[in-house]
Amino acid sequence: MTETEKENKNNSVIEDFALDFNTSSAISKIHIKILIFYITIFWMGWLLNLSAWDGITLHLPFWSVLILLPIILFAFYFVFIFGCILTTKLFLILINLIHRPKEGVFKAEEGDKDFEFWRLRIELKKLGVWLLNNNPLPWADAWAFRWFGVKMDFTSHGIDAWLDVEFLKFGRKVTIGQGAVVMSSMVVGKYLIIKESVFDDYAVIGGVSTIAPGTIIGKDTVLGALSSTYYNQLLESGWIYFGIPGMKLKPNKLAEERRDVIVKRDVDAQESYEVIHDFNIDEDKRDLIKKTSKE
């Protein structure tokens, strides 16, 4: 191979993975077919509201409807969201039956089935998460992520962060800082990368940090603010990481080995003592904690 051919080959590879303004795990534009899904979803939400309104006006006198109007309007807001979420879920079930989601590296171009179905899934899930995230209920965002396939419980939260909506797995009490971006999929140049990101128990992600697809963060591990990870990076348990990309800084001395013990200190007597308490945990996971403590 001549030098010119080598140079052309290297340039083509660089162009394939080049970053541009469209490189993101978000969608750059809305197609007509996605718009049709949106119209149908919103229509079903309003249809439920119309049905509920007909039921109320038929069974309640006019004066009581006027008195209860603020409560009725507030209830209609949630009925509309419920209708949209339910319709979105039904669409996703149908889409996943047609083409099952999977991890891997795919061509980010129109016509590629994995890319097209990924784009459709993300658009629909983001709509549902947005509707639930922008309401007064503080736990609604966690319910939305669980509803659309993210593995997490209600002890973890990322209400002020940007989280992908599939191939994410959270342990207990995972904290995602404000402005952080957690990705399980990303478009880089001409390629779509999909890889599950995993966060073990008590992991903490600092604000304005970026988590790349395939990242695995161990138990009691902290990633400092303004840091990032690279594709498939493993952050070991019990360490503090910082930097771009995140590098080991020091052991996490504040990691709690025994979470059922509170250390109290009496300053006047200059002594400290331990108090064992029953910590809050889901009943279906208590056996897992007991096994871990015995080990």
Q: What is the pLDDT along the chain (295 residues), one digit of tens a residue?
A: 665 555 555 555 455 555 443 444 444 455 667 788 888 998 998 888 888 877 777 777 877 777 777 887 888 888 888 889 999 999 999 999 999 999 999 998 888 889 989 988 988 888 888 887 777 776 777 888 888 888 888 888 777 888 888 999 999 889 898 889 999 998 888 889 999 999 999 999 999 999 999 999 999 999 999 999 999 999 999 899 999 889 998 888 776 554 555 555 555 666 655 555 555 555 555 555 544 444 4
Domain assignment present for residue 36? The answer is: no
Does a structural domain hold residue 288? yes
Q: Is 273 a member of any domain?
A: yes
The residue type found at 288 is L
Name the burial class of residue 7, with classes exposed (0-12), middle (13-18) and buried (19+) by CB atoms within 10 angstroms of its CB: exposed
Sequence-separated (6 or more) residues with CB below 8 Å from residue 74: none
Domain count for the chain: 1
Does a structural domain hold residue 274?
Answer: yes
What residues make up the domain containing 286? 261-294
Residue 146 has a CB neighbour count (10 Å cut-off) of: 14
- Whether residue 289 lies inside any domain: the answer is yes
Look at residue 62 and tell me if it is in a domain.
no
Is 93 within a domain? no
| 183 within 8 A of 231, measured Cβ to Cβ | no
Whole-model pTM?
Answer: 0.72
Fill in the DSSP letter of residue 151: B
Q: Within 10 Å of residue 258's Cβ, how many Cβ atoms?
A: 11
The answer to whether position 123 is within a domain reads no
The four Cα atoms 228, 230, 236, 239 give a dihedral, to 10 degrees, of: -20
